Structure 1
Amino acid sequence: MKKILIIEDDSAIASIERDYLEINQFAVEIAEDGITGVEKALSGQFQLVLLDLMLPGEDGFSVCRKLRGKLDIPILMVTAKQEDIDKIRGLGLGADDYIIKPFSPSELVARVKSNLAQYERLKGGNVTMAQNSSIEMGPFVINTQSHRAYLKGRELDLKKKEFDLLYFLVVNADIVFSKDSLYERIWGYDAVGDNATVAVHINRLRDKIEEDPGNPKYIQTVWGAGYRFKP
């Protein structure tokens, strides 16, 4: 039975979320503030965190940043705010998806199942772990300990941020990320600069990994949305 942690200060909403998830065969625990949520998430064996944005103690953004630095599990952010900047900021800090209040219990369950399925597919499907903490996908091998990347056996000459960007895109293959989201994930929310940096690094990566950088096979542009990696 998969375990879900709900971090939500509204006890009525948390109870409804718990009840519907339990009906669908999930084990659920609840934390009512950000500080307790971080402690529970780091001490329990959870498969997904359902994280409210507005929390006492520490807000959802702060909690998300702390959890993503320690945990490699889906984080589904729950927010009553509909401004795009909140969605982008949350995803940039490491949230995998968001859901806007009010939502139906059936939508919540569907989104939880979808994110768990996607996580399991990425972990057990296209991405495989080789020796020495290497990640293999298609013709790419990325060694996270030595910070080296290879394409068809040839070592790539990558700067640190180019390596970080390639690694992030590879382990999140087929997922589209906006420039804002990539900038916040790779450079950090408090970094000095703007998302034009992402386009520059994407172009540099394409020059190093694509046979035809003008018609890229691996790092594809999704017009109006961002970039994705296709193995």
Structure 2
Amino acid sequence: MEGFHTNTAASGAAGLNELESFNPDLLLLDWMLPDQSGLDICKKVTANYNIPILMITAKSDITDKVLGLEFGADDYITKPFDLREVVARIRTILRRVDQANVAERAAEEVVVIRFKDIEIVAEERLVKKNGQLVDLTPKEFDLLMKLIGHKGKIFTRTELLDFVWGYDFAGDTRTVDTHIQRLRKKLDAGDLITTVFGIGYK
């Protein structure tokens, strides 16, 4: 069908057995099967496999459609249907799954932030300058990440104090100034953190 490699099964049991040896990108599932309900198959598949499901049925009532989706179907098409619509829906589901996989892989990648000769490995809480490790305290690192993670955004000293030290911190805003001075000295990059006079830092 439209260039897809397909395997077929005439019953729910046969379909489940087929999944053991054939790992499909998508399952085209009929609601009405000779041995069991397609809803039962849908529930079993979603519980044990990460396979998108397009359910086909003669049931056109909105309640049935909602039920199919609640049991784990990704989409729903009613009979009679045009094959072109089925193919279009399959392609849409596969495209959505592919986009989700790309996003997931990107999220798993280590985030590295670079500014001139400074490199920050966020996941490992490491900062390097010219390839050499810079020794930052946990608070200094948190303060740095807050500022560079929102590049261009102006934060008041109170906002930075609340974020890094917590709302119940007993100190004052001069604590922020002290840590900013230490960061600038350790990183030797005055333009990485900019003072906004009368307000705070960005």
Mapped to 2, the partners of 1:56 and 1:104 lie a distance apart of 24
In structure 1, the residue matched to 2:130 is: none
Select 1:110's aligned residue among 76, 83, 88.
88
Mapped to 2, the partners of 1:52 and 1:44 lie a distance apart of 18
Q: Secondary structure at the match of 1:88?
A: helix
What TM-score, normalized by structure 2, do the two folds share? 0.51
In structure 1, the residue matched to 2:23 is: 45
In structure 2, the residue matched to 1:89 is: 67
Equivalent residue letter for 1:68: T
Count of aligned pairs: 110
Once the two structures are superposed, residues 48-81 of structure 1 have per-residue CA deviations (whole angstroms, 9 ceiling, x without a partner) of 0000000011210000000001111210000101
Mapped to 2, the partners of 1:53 and 1:122 lie a distance apart of 27
Q: Are 2:36 and 1:58 aligned? A: yes
Q: Name the Cα RMSD after superposition.
A: 1.9
Structure 1 residue runs without a partner (length 5+): 1-20, 132-152, 154-231
Q: Is the 8 A contact 2:42 2:53 kept in 1?
A: yes
Q: CA deviation at 1:30?
A: 0.7
In structure 1, the residue matched to 2:6 is: 28
Equivalent residue letter for 1:34: G
Q: Is the 8 A contact 2:56 2:76 kept in 1?
A: yes
Equivalent residue letter for 2:29: L
What TM-score, normalized by structure 1, do the two folds share? 0.45
Decide which structure has greater strand share: 1
Equivalent residue letter for 1:102: P
Mapped to 1, the partners of 2:20 and 2:43 lie a distance apart of 13
Query: Percent identity between the aligned chains?
Result: 37
Q: Is the 8 A contact 1:42 1:70 kept in 2?
A: no
Q: CA deviation at 1:107?
A: 0.7
Any residues of structure 2 matched to 1:189-208 within 5 Å, and which? none
Q: CA deviation at 1:38?
A: 1.3
Q: Is the 8 A contact 1:77 1:95 kept in 2?
A: yes
Q: CA deviation at 1:88?
A: 0.9
Equivalent residue letter for 2:42: C
Q: Is the 8 A contact 2:45 2:51 kept in 1?
A: no
**Higher-Rg member (1/2):** 2
Select 2:55's aligned residue among 77, 96, 99.
77
